[in-house]
Structure 1
Amino acid sequence: MSVRPRPTAPPRTPMPPPETAVSPRVSALERDLAEGREDVLARFWAEVAGRGTPLVERVAADDDHHVVTFLWRDPGTRTREVLLLANCVTDRSVLPLSRLLRVPGTDVWHRSYRLPGTWRGSYQFVALEEPFSAATGDEDGNDASAGHRMWRMLGLMAEPDPLNPRRLPARWGAPPKSVAELPAAPPQPWLSPRPDVPRGSVTSHVVHSGHLGEDRRVWTYLPHGHDHGSDYPVLVLLDGDMWGDALPVASTLDNLVAEGLLPPLVALMPDAVDNPTRWRDLGCHEPFLGFLRDELLPWASHRWRVTDDPARTVIAGQSLGGLTALFAGLRAPERFGNLLSQSGSFWWSPEGGPSDWLARRFAAAPRLPLRIHLEAGTREWILTPATRHLRNVLRDRGYEVEYAEHDGGHDYACWRGSLATGLVALAGGWV
């Protein structure tokens, strides 16, 4: 299998520094310790166990923000430093603001930020026996820099918050993450199975691709009561190893169908395989598009009578998958008429191409019969401007574009809830 070289990201813009804060509860702990009160630490950790982590406290005279305190309890090791890796809140470009502070003489490590009440995100900790001191990248933000490699290494060393039971699974050997959400974060009501909702079925298959020259695993979702006599709408959901396995989307689809917000549909979820293969396939790769259009959809239609109407076909993806969803509509509008992109990697271009390569392609092409839903996180300081630019280009060309932003980052913790919003918006035009 040939794998194209990973494209070079655009010059890296440093992340805007997060707004740090002082936790009233940690300040009270420090005062109690200074006054020599007994059982202070035991009471503090008992309170934390009851409230859960991170600690969320009100900001005086500000109903829209909270002080969010991430806590690490030292297990008695030789920990010299603890880093917080919080999605699009911390970053290697603001490393000093990622370091937790230790309450002297205690097992309490902490770092507080002032965040809007609508925020949701995932995070991890890295506990180190030696202080971390690595380059944060060259002055051009080159992703091949030592700083980038070191930051990736930290990601492999990271671990979820042991005090927070809410977890987000990962893949390819990466550690799971913890999930935090503030009181005004948008609800995610469709995620969990409901006892009164009939369940569809998810199965795994192997589909051979002549375009790719290899077999590809594919997860499929069939709605409850699937009838071989109907032509079902079809959803192609990229990164199927996440949605078919690690973060099963079946409950979301079951609930939306039961509520009448989606018609019964068939979902096809191809495996991303591994990171190099994913970079190849989801980087506007014509053979992968050929696999989806010429092989996967006909394979499914032969078995389950999925529609061949592009107006009732959705292709959806996140990050590079979001880029691929738009590319599929541009190159194969006769098959993909509904495009759903969450945090699409619209900085991508062929080697040497402009960073708004895809937007230029849409601007230069005739207007196509496409309906589009775009989403980005307000904290994605590189992707959000690129997504807004693409939205404006598409609207100027007369496309029907739904656009949404979530208060978060490049994060499955956000995507798994707002995927439903995008699907419902696109299905509103189906008959």
Structure 2
Amino acid sequence: ILVSAQADPLNPNSINAAHDRWNRHSLLALNAARFCTAQRMAQPLRYGTLTRHQLRSDFLQNTREVLIYRPRLPQLARWTLLLFDGKTYQHEYRLANVLNALIASHRLPPINVVFIDSLDHSRRAKELPPNPHFADFMAHELLPWLNRQGISLTRQKTVVAGSSYGGLAASWVALRYPRQFGNVLSLSGSYWWAPQGEEAGWLTRQYQQSPRYPVRFWLQAGKFETSGPDGGIYANTLEFERVLKEKGYTVSFHPSSSGHDYAAWCEALVNGMRDLTGLALKGKPATPDPAQQQILYGAQR
């Protein structure tokens, strides 16, 4: 069935930047006020710039592509989003175009976005799961390099984000360098991960055993992510949230009726940035009403 899988030709609501039916994804969205839409992906960058760079790392002994989006506004963008798997988020889902449109319409504040490429599957699997060298690269190479590019970061307004292994990496980097990375936006974080020979949930235990640091967390997971060690990503994210709350962290968990996919992550990323930057309506988080999300969940059951 995967050989012939294709977008639904009768569904005009699709997502990602692919132009052929084999690589596009049909979307069922019960929330009409979705931010991450094909229409916004297709909009040109009228109000910002996207530049391409190559960054060499001595810690990791490799070179990767880094894209930088900057809003073209009279005031400086004070928030900075550091996003793992950046090449996929921009090339396939045009996230800079989406954010550009939302910033222009005042649905997001001015945000610099740094898209960090993961190179390939092999190096991604070595670098993003808790790796001291990768955390050192982020703190001691990426941040000084960004400063030389004219992007000055403050801990309170720096968000490190990623999905799957990227969500795990964001949480790990903030644990290693909490004075530099003050906000974590984790999408379907792989909190089940553990080094060989260890029990699942290694990073959760590290947080449990460490002091509380000045870091805020915005966590998302799909209700259909239930396979894998210790109940899958959904259950492991709930456990991570529980430990963070016990330690006294500022943390919120945002379940969605979704699986392990960029359609959910793109939307959650916008909602998370609205919440973390304080732009969501007071007392009403940007995350859609959970009652709407229950419809799909109940349908599967």
TM-score, normalised on structure 1? 0.58
Kindly tell me: are residues 357 and 244 of structure 1, through their superposed partners in 2, closer, same or farther at Cα, counting changes over 3 Å? same
**SS of match in other structure, 1:225:** coil
Name 2:100's counterpart in structure 1.
254
The answer for the alignment partner of 1:315 in structure 2 is 160
Residue 401 in structure 1 maps to residue 248 in structure 2? no
Aligned pair count?
268
Question: In the alignment, is residue 413 of structure 1 matched against residue 290 of structure 2?
Answer: no
TM-superposition CA deviations, 1:111-141 (whole Å, max 9, x none): xxxxxxxxxxxxxx434xxxxxxxxxxxxxx
More helix by share: 2
Supply the AA of the counterpart residue of 2:23: P
- Structure 2 unpaired stretches of 5+: 227-231, 280-301
- What per-residue deviation string (whole Å, max 9, x for no partner) do you get for residues 372-408 of structure 1? 0000001111110110011111011111111101101
Question: Any unmatched runs of 5+ in structure 1?
Answer: 1-82, 84-124, 128-157
Q: 1:297 aligns with which of 123, 143, 149?
A: 143
Query: What amino acid maps onto 2:203 in structure 1?
Result: L
2:3 is matched with which residue: 126, 150, 155? 126
User: How far did 1:316 drift?
Assistant: 0.5
Larger radius of gyration: 1
Deviation at 1:215, TM superposition (A): 1.3
Residue 210 (str. 1) matches residue 61 (str. 2): no
Structure 1 letter corresponding to 2:150: W
CA 1:302–1:232: 2 relative to 1, 3 Å? farther
Measured in 2, the distance between the counterparts of 1:186 and 1:161 equals 19
The alpha-carbon deviation at position 288 of structure 1 amounts to: 1.6
Partner in structure 2 of residue 343 of structure 1: 188
Aligned to 1:376, what secondary structure does the other structure show? strand
Q: Distance in 2 between matches of 1:243 and 1:197?
A: 15
For 1:369, give the aligned amino acid: P
State the SS of the aligned residue for 1:176: coil
The CA distance in 2 between the partners of 1:163 and 1:186, in whole Å, is 18
For residues 334-359 of structure 1, what are the alpha-carbon distances to aligned partners after superposition, in whole Å with 9 as ceiling and x for unaligned? 11000000000111011111211111
Deviation at 1:289, TM superposition (A): 1.6
Q: What is the CA–CA distance in structure 1 between the aligned matches of 2:7 and 2:109, rounded to whole Å?
A: 37
Residue number among 267, 270, 282 corresponding to 2:116 in the alignment:
270
Task: Report matched runs for 1:1-400 at 5 Å.
Answer: 83=1, 125-127=2-4, 159-161=6-8, 164=11, 166-168=14-16, 176-182=23-29, 184-185=30-31, 187-191=33-37, 192-193=39-40, 198-225=46-73, 230=76, 232-307=78-153, 309-381=154-226, 382-400=232-250
Helix, strand or coil at the partner of 2:138: helix
Match of 1:80 in 2: none
Give the secondary structure class of the aligned counterpart of 2:186. strand
Find the counterpart in structure 2 of residue 99 from structure 1.
none
Give the letter aligned to residue 353 of structure 1. E
Deviation at 1:254, TM superposition (A): 1.8
Structure 1 pair 258–162 and aligned structure 2 pair: CA distance change class (3 A): closer
Residues 368 and 242 (structure 1 numbering): CA distance in 2 closer, same or farther, change over 3 Å? same
Letter in 2 for 1:205: H
Deviation for aligned residue 1:252: 2.7
SS in 2 for 1:237: strand
- What is the CA-CA distance between 1:314 and the residue it aligns to? 0.3
- TM-score, normalised on structure 2? 0.81
Name the amino acid aligned to 2:16: L
How far apart, in 2, do the equivalents of 1:203 and 1:399 lie? 35
For residues 110 and 77 of structure 2, what CA distance do their matches in structure 1 show?
Answer: 10
| Residue type at the aligned position of 1:333 | P
Displacement of 1:159 in angstroms is: 4.6
Could you tell me how far 1:417 is from its partner in structure 2? 1.3
After superposition, what is the alpha-carbon deviation per residue over 1:175-215, rounded to whole angstroms, capped at 9, x for unaligned? 62422305x24632354439799521112110111111121
Measured against aligned partners, the alpha-carbon deviations of 1:72-92 in whole angstroms (never above 9, x if no partner) come to xxxxxxxxxxx3xxxxxxxxx
Runs of 4+ in 1 over 4 A off after TM superposition: 158-165, 194-198
Measured on the aligned residues, the alpha-carbon RMSD in Å equals 2.4
Other-structure match for 2:283: none
> C-alpha distance in 2, partners of 1:377/1:178?
17
Quote the offset at 1:262 in angstroms: 3.2
